A and B are shown apart, each in its own frame.
Chain A
Amino acid sequence: MSITERQNKYDVAHTPGNSKAQPVRRRKMRKANSPWIGVALMAPTMLWVGGTLVFAVVLLLSLSLRDVGLGPLDKVLAAPLSLVNYAEVLTNADTWRSFGISVVYVAGSTAIPFAIGLGTALLLNQKMPGQRLLRTLVLVPWAVPGVTATIAFMWMMAPTYGVVNYILRTLGIISTDINWFADDSLALLAVIAPTSWKAFPFFTLMLLAGLQSVGKEQYEAASMDGAGKLLKFRYVTLPALSPFIFISVIFNMMYAFREFDFIYASTRGGPAGATETIAVRIYNQAFERFDLGSAAALGILTFALIGAVVFFLVRKKFKGSLEGVL
């Protein structure tokens, strides 16, 4: 369908009654009273998503409550209950340091790709030559398999033989090579970069889709009220995008929280623990120290902590603005 055709369709559909300055504010939905159809529709998702989640959490919880590091599952689960793993995890100062590192890592690996994703989504929402091709190309980093991306970045960021330092040297920005992954103060930034690169197209696509839910008439109405570009962004685009921003940010934070492959491949949590996020720590506990019990305890504790935060967000803080989401 060409742009003009779409425009015509819009013109036909446009009715004067819709021309209010801020029509985007989501109205409170009147919902159907008979819940059974809804329950039936919801059931497969809840059974499968909820079922696997409960199964995983219950199994991990029971593992975490045994004082057995590793063993055949039936034997481990037959061991007496014990809180030793929790005591160990909670009293270990490294747990809390890892938690702090995770917070920084998740914040960085969400803020940066969000900014790039929002920028590219707004740009690509404009009409331009080759729009379809450009929109496709921008999403490419998302499709790169993790293992390949990891090696590409490790080679690019290799201190002596990598292209990143080569470009910085050529531009005269640095005189001695930067040792990205070994420098205590840079390592965390160095692992945030590839994570952000891999994640930004997720925001681009979701926000681009979100932008399509804003009707043209809303912008036109705002124009009639004399709103400039910035005001339109503030009062039309942003409110319409907010539910999409909210869920994309939440899910990307969880993605960043779980992310482990790149950090493990490049630094293994080092130097001196500078990049040991919770996810890396859990891996190290489970498959380097072979103490699955304490890895499970750490997992259950962070699960509960994040659950509390999400619960709080859902219930209190953003009650109004979350109406559209939950």
Chain B
Amino acid sequence: MRRRELIVAGAAILAGGLTACVPTASANGRGGDSVLTISTWTAKEPGLKDWWPQLIAGFEAEHGGVTVRLREIAYADYQQQITTQLMAGAAPDVVHVPTPTTTLPVWAEAGFLLDMDDFLAGTDILGSWPSTQKVMAWGGRNYGVLLVDYGYVMFYNEAVLAAAGVSVPETPEELLLAAQRVAALSGDVKPFAIAADNSANFIRDALVFTTGMDAQWASDGKWAFSDPGVVKALDLWRTLGRDYAPQGTDIAQKREAFLTGNVAMMIEGPFYQATVKKTASASLVDSLQIAKTPFAISPGDVSHGFSVPQGLDATKEALALDFVKFATSMPMMEAYSQLVGSPVTRPGAAAALLDDEQRAVMANVAENMTPIIDPSMEGLRLHYFDFTQIAGTSFHKLLMGTDDTGTILAELQSELEKAGITP
């Protein structure tokens, strides 16, 4: 009797504890055909914050009865969450792909993404998109559409450069000279900033110098880090990063150092300009300008694209592809370019940027940019993490160690060969 009472009491308390917190909102509908889900990490980024509602409203207006739901995921969690959802067959209907250079090959290789070649044949995308679209392809098939690529730009603090008596550097030599002049100023302003953490940004910031100075660290499917041009370019990056930049800055601290006036120059993606204009203090904001990078070649990168997962039912798949088509259409891409204030991949969509002198810089470098990692380097793209680990160790030695640049890079060359990774 007592025993039964006890069990009943325990069960009652448990049930009480559970029902006290019954599900309060219905699950994000994946089942109904009229709901289309799209994942992104950019819902709150400047400009994009206004683009998404416009895009969704436009698509819903064209497709009566369809509701588009944005599945927002924090940037830091994005890859892990989407990968988990893809594995469990619970991915959104349209997947926003970050850093497709490295992410797309892995997801495509795993069989998560829909081969979009048939769909693309019915659009103008393959015909008009620049060669950077190759980054959304893997093994010769397209698994997505690239939305944005860009050329890096030089952010500079006009007032500091003026005080140092230098004009905006236009060659690597002038860059070093400007750094020396700024360093000679009294006060705490540092000349330059790099991402000096242990992330992919660290590698990226160094490779901007090699691409810009036309140095090839990979050619004919082989590594070429001991190439004299590569040594020269990375030696300049090393000098700036070690002697003329604040130490240990991660990507956020690097940008913040420029934004707060602690640092006179940095090379970054043009999209950061929107944040600079929005958040820099009133006394600084007019001084913070952008220019072409001080290199003969404009180094650039791809930013993000849209893919569709495999295994959707036919109607949903058609709807998802329709959405991709709509998002990459001229009006939506023009809206993107205007709202975010940076270039997009669709040719001609960024024309409005040319009206503004600063934005014209962005549009021009984007047009003529060379990606720091060529989409055709499939070995590198698939094993990018191993590459960053090995290269990161060497680049770390460049910043912290005393061996000369040639020696360290020769070591990197042999480490990469030993690891069996090919570009």
Contact = CB atoms under 8 A, between A and B. Distances in A.
**Direct contact, A vs B (beta carbon within 8 Å):** yes
Interface of A: 36-37, 40-41, 44, 69-76, 154-155, 158-161, 177, 179-184, 265-273, 284, 286-290, 292
Contact of A40 (B3, B196, B257): B3
B248 A159 contact: yes
B247 A179 contact: yes
Given A158-B253, A179-B248, A182-B248, A73 B87 contact: yes
A40 B89 contact: no
Interface in B1-54: 2-3, 6-7, 10, 14
Main secondary structure of the interface of A (DSSP, over half): loop
B311 interface: yes
B121 interface: no
**Max count, chain A CB within 10 A of own CB: residue among B111, B198, B199:** B198
A161 B386 CA distance: 31
Nearest to B103: A290
Contact of A160 (B76, B190, B393, B400): B190
Interface stretch (B78-86, B130-138, B208-216, B231-239): B78-86
A260 to B, nearest CB: 11
A264 to B, nearest CB: 9
B223 to A, nearest CB: 19
Interface string B100-129: 000000100111100000000000000000
Contact of A270 (B249, B310, B396): B396
Contact of B253 (A161, A267, A286, A287): A161
27 contacts: A41-B10, A70-B87, A70-B110, A71-B110, A71-B111, A71-B112, A72-B112, A74-B89, A154-B250, A158-B248, A158-B253, A159-B246, A179-B248, A181-B198, A182-B196, A182-B248, A182-B396, A184-B400, A268-B197, A268-B198, A268-B199, A270-B393, A271-B396, A272-B396, A287-B80, A290-B106, A292-B87
Interface residues of B, number: 42
Interface of B: 2-3, 6-7, 10, 14, 76, 79-80, 83, 86-89, 106, 109-112, 190, 196-199, 246-250, 253, 257, 262, 310-311, 385-386, 389, 392-393, 396, 399-400
A184 B401 CA distance: 11
Given A73-B89, A74-B89, A160 B386 contact: no
Nearest to B109: A70
A37 B196 CA distance: 61
Nearest to A261: B76
Contact of A269 (B106, B198, B396): B198
List 6 A-B pairs, minimum CB-CB distance, nearest first. Answer: A160-B246, A270-B198, A159-B247, A70-B110, A159-B248, A288-B385
Contacts of B392: 270
A287 B79 contact: yes
B400 A72 contact: no
Contacts of B83: 70, 287, 290
Contacts of B106: 70, 290
A66 B99 CA distance: 28
Contacts of B311: 72
Nearest to B87: A73
Residue among B6, B247, B310, B389 with max Cβ neighbours from chain A (10 Å): B247
Nearest to A180: B248
With most chain A CB atoms within 10 A of its CB, the pick from B3, B106, B109 is: B106
Contact of B89 (A37, A72, A272): A72
Interface centre among A36, A183, A265, A290 (most CB of B within 10 A): A290
A69 B110 contact: yes
Given A72-B89, A271-B393, A287-B79, 12 more contacts: A40-B6, A71-B112, A72-B311, A158-B253, A161-B246, A179-B248, A183-B400, A268-B197, A269-B198, A271-B396, A284-B385, A286-B80
A41, A44, A287, A292: which has the most chain B beta carbons within 10 Å? A287
Most buried by B among A76, A266, A288, A292: A288
Contact of B249 (A158, A180, A271): A158
A182 B196 CA distance: 9
Nearest to B74: A147
A41 B358 CA distance: 71
A160 B110 contact: no
A154 B250 CA distance: 9
B249 A160 contact: yes
A179 B197 CA distance: 11
A267 B202 CA distance: 12
Contacts of A37: 2-3, 6
Given A41-B10, A70-B87, A161-B257, A182 B110 contact: no
A161 B393 CA distance: 24
Contacts of A271: 198, 393, 396, 400
Contacts of A72: 86-87, 89, 110-112, 310-311
Given A160-B190, A161-B262, A290-B110, A44 B246 contact: no
Contact of B3 (A36, A76, A266): A36
Contacts of A70: 83, 87, 106, 109-110
A158 B6 CA distance: 57
